[in-house]
């Protein structure tokens, strides 16, 4: 990929002052956009401390803001020992969100020394624009009302629902986890993390569990979701949409932890071990 070769040669300067910047500015000029050379040159990355919430005997470090993960974990009752119906309703009530599709990828990795890293990256809805000759698809988040909820202000930063997370105990990393899927990201991440940390479910089994996601007054359910829970949701006045198969819509989780690694078949995920 030409863009990665440029980054390897020029470093981050390629994006803000170098080759990639020039291609972006050329496209902006062609489309009568407002981004300027000065905007790119003045940009600086901002580093934020993670939000910490106590969960299932761990310090769960994650991202706040639009992700909603800290609040969802704070609302979530203990799941260990619950049946499928109570568990499904507890997770859904704690998460309780909705939103549009996105194109997000998550990577979780750990080494033999116990170091772990989780990286989530997103194209948002995808702009459909590629920088000529660079194989670089440009992001587009301008249509998501979840992200743009007020006036655009100079110097303001785009928010995000992405929430790469690490759970720690006194012995170190218990779980490194992240997810894709817009606001379904919260549901997928909280559901899988709680299954592993609270219920002791094996990582891939936790990822493979049928998911239920509420979007407004509609509850979307994968095959295998607890039917008694779905009936209860219908009694609450919600419409239940039963999907014919496991689907990309319900997000994609990847993780690595003490009990193993897992990746989401809903988004062609893969888990493996590399020996150096």
How buried is 276 (Cβ within 10 angstroms: 0-12 exposed, 13-18 middle, 19+ buried)? exposed
- 142 with 22, same domain: the answer is no
| CB-based contact 167:190 (threshold 8 Å) | no
Residue 236 lies in a domain: yes
- 97 with 204, same domain: the answer is yes
- 196 with 230, same domain: the answer is yes
Residue 94 lies in a domain: yes
Distance between CA atoms of 58 and 175, rounded to whole angstroms?
10
Q: Give the pLDDT score at 142.
A: 52
- 110 with 149, same domain: the answer is yes
How many structural domains compose the chain? Answer: 2
- 73 with 164, same domain: the answer is yes
- 76 with 29, same domain: the answer is no
Q: Give the pLDDT score at 160.
A: 77
- 37 with 95, same domain: the answer is no
| CB-based contact 186:97 (threshold 8 Å) | yes
Is 58 in the active site? Answer: no
Q: Give the pLDDT score at 170.
A: 94
CB atoms within 10 A of CB 202: 13
Q: Give the pLDDT score at 222.
A: 97
Q: For the chain (length 276 residues), average pLDDT per consecutive 10? A: 88 91 92 89 88 95 89 92 93 71 76 89 75 82 55 74 92 94 87 96 97 94 97 96 95 94 92 80
Question: In which domain, by residue range, is 249 found?
Answer: 48-267
Q: How far apart are the first and last CA of the chain?
A: 25
- 26 with 122, same domain: the answer is no
- 158 with 86, same domain: the answer is yes
Of 104, 109, 121, 275, catalytic: 104
Distance between CA atoms of 101 and 147, rounded to whole angstroms?
13
Q: Give the pLDDT score at 101.
A: 46
Closest CA to 253 of 200, 198, 199, 205: 205
- 117 with 239, same domain: the answer is yes
Q: What is the CATH number of the domain that holds 104?
A: 3.60.20.40
Residue 276 lies in a domain: no
Q: Give the pLDDT score at 103.
A: 65
Q: What is the pLDDT of residues 3-29, one digit of tens each?
A: 889 989 999 899 999 999 999 999 999
Q: Give the pLDDT score at 214.
A: 92
- 39 with 59, same domain: the answer is no
- 82 with 6, same domain: the answer is no
């Amino acid at each position: 990929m030409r863009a990665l070769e440029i980054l390897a040669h020029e470093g981050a300067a390629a994006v803000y002052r170098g080759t990639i910047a020039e291609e972006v500015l050329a496209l902006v000029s062609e489309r009568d956009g407002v981004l300027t050379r000065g905007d790119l040159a003045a940009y600086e990355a901002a580093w934020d401390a993670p939000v910490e919430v106590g969960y299932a005997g761990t310090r769960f470090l994650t991202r706040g803001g639009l992700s909603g993960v800290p609040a969802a974990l704070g609302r979530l009752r203990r799941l260990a020992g619950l049946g499928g119906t109570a568990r499904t309703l507890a997770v859904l009530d704690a998460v309780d969100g909705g939103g549009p599709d996105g194109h997000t990828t998550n990577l979780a990795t750990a080494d033999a020394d116990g170091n772990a890293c989780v990286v989530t990256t997103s194209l948002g809805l995808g702009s459909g624009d590629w920088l000529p000759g660079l194989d670089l698809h440009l992001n587009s988040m301008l249509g998501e009302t979840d992200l743009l909820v007020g006036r655009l202000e100079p110097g303001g930063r785009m928010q995000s629902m992405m929430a790469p997370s690490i759970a720690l105990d006194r012995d170190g990393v218990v779980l490194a986890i992240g997810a894709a899927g817009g606001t379904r990201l919260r549901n997928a991440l909280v559901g899988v993390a709680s299954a592993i940390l609270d219920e002791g479910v094996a990582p891939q089994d936790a990822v493979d569990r049928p998911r239920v996601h509420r979007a407004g007054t509609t509850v979307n359910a994968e095959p295998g979701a607890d039917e008694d829970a779905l009936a209860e949701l219908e009694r609450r006045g919600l419409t239940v949409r039963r999907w014919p198969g496991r689907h990309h819509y319900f997000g994609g989780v990847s993780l690595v932890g003490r009990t193993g690694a897992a990746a989401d078949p809903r988004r062609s995920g893969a888990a493996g071990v590399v020996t150096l």
